[in-house]
Amino acid sequence: MTIPRMPDGWRKSSYSSSQTNCVEVGRAGDGAAVRDTKDRAAGYFTTNGKQWANFINAVKADKFSA
């Protein structure tokens, strides 16, 4: 059984430096972890590298526009 590495290197977007309603992204193995900056104690969710790449590509392709 492999014990997952704890996420590290948490950061938030430089575009939200003065905001408090943000998410932070950290490194988690070959993927990423995401958490709410206002409620860090609530935990985080993780993705593997392929899931994270797919998400980033969808954001860049504007797939989440209303």
What's the number of domains the chain is made of? 1
How high is the pLDDT of residue 19? 73
- pLDDT 10s digits, 28-49: 999 999 999 889 899 999 999 9
The runs of H, that is alpha helices, within the chain are 49-60
65's CB contacts (< 8 A; 6+ apart) are none
pTM value?
0.77
Exposed, middle or buried: residue 28 (CB in 10 Å: 0-12, 13-18, 19+)?
A: buried
In a domain, 32, yes or no: yes
Of the candidates 63, 28, 30, 60, the one whose C-alpha atom is nearest the C-alpha of residue 46 is 28
How high is the pLDDT of residue 34? 94
- Domain encompassing residue 34: 23-60
Distance between CA 46 and CA 35 in Å, rounded?
Answer: 9
Residue that wins the pLDDT comparison between 60 and 4: 60
| pLDDT reading at 2 higher than 70 | no
Residue that wins the pLDDT comparison between 66 and 52: 52
In a domain, 33, yes or no: yes
